[in-house]
Amino acid sequence: MKLKLLYAFALLFTISFFSATAQSSKMQPLKLVKYKDNVKAPLSSQELSFIKEVYSDKFDAYVLNRPQKLKDLKNLLRNRIIIKEMPELVGNTEKYKTLAEAGLFNAYNSALTFDTTYNKSTFNVLKYNLEFYGRGSRVYRISNTNFFIVILSQHQ
């Protein structure tokens, strides 16, 4: 009887030890988000139109009335998103996802559509269901262009 109890205890200890070890190696603590001073400035007309396009009639309730959400969106648009032409990356499909794979973020505006070309003044990155707040940086290809969206981690 004592032998069975000892085996059960040893098994439980072993499982607990390996579970704790596996979790600690995967989940490193995240650095605090540091905001640049430029997030204190009001929204530009372009930023305002991009956010309104995505949030539609929920803009006031979900963005303007939530100061942290507004600050996070400003930080995202001003400091964490880089769009650049990288033709050398086109053939390396394992290094990026496409916008089609990500899909549209149309929870508040069902009329959103995919962009088929890239125009710097009209391209709204917020329309897409991209991993803006995941661990690490992400890369997405804009349709069939040589332009890529690089989303820098907020935990730098």
* Residue 112 included in any domain: yes
Domain region containing 61: 39-151
pTM here is: 0.78
111/55 Cα distance (integer angstroms): 11
* Residue 61 included in any domain: yes
* Residue 6 included in any domain: no
State residue 41's pLDDT score.
98
pLDDT, one tens digit per residue, over 87-101 is 999 999 999 999 999
* Residue 138 included in any domain: yes
* Residue 8 included in any domain: no
* Residue 130 included in any domain: yes
* Residue 127 included in any domain: yes
State residue 61's pLDDT score.
98
State residue 150's pLDDT score.
98
Query: What DSSP line would sit under 90-101, residue for residue?
Result: TT-GGG-EEHHH
Tally of structural domains, the chain: 1
97/17 Cα distance (integer angstroms): 36
State residue 32's pLDDT score.
85
* Residue 55 included in any domain: yes
pLDDT in tens, the chain (156 residues): 666 655 555 555 555 555 555 554 456 777 788 899 999 999 999 999 999 999 999 999 999 999 999 999 999 999 999 999 999 999 999 999 999 999 999 999 999 999 988 999 999 999 999 999 988 999 999 999 999 999 999 887
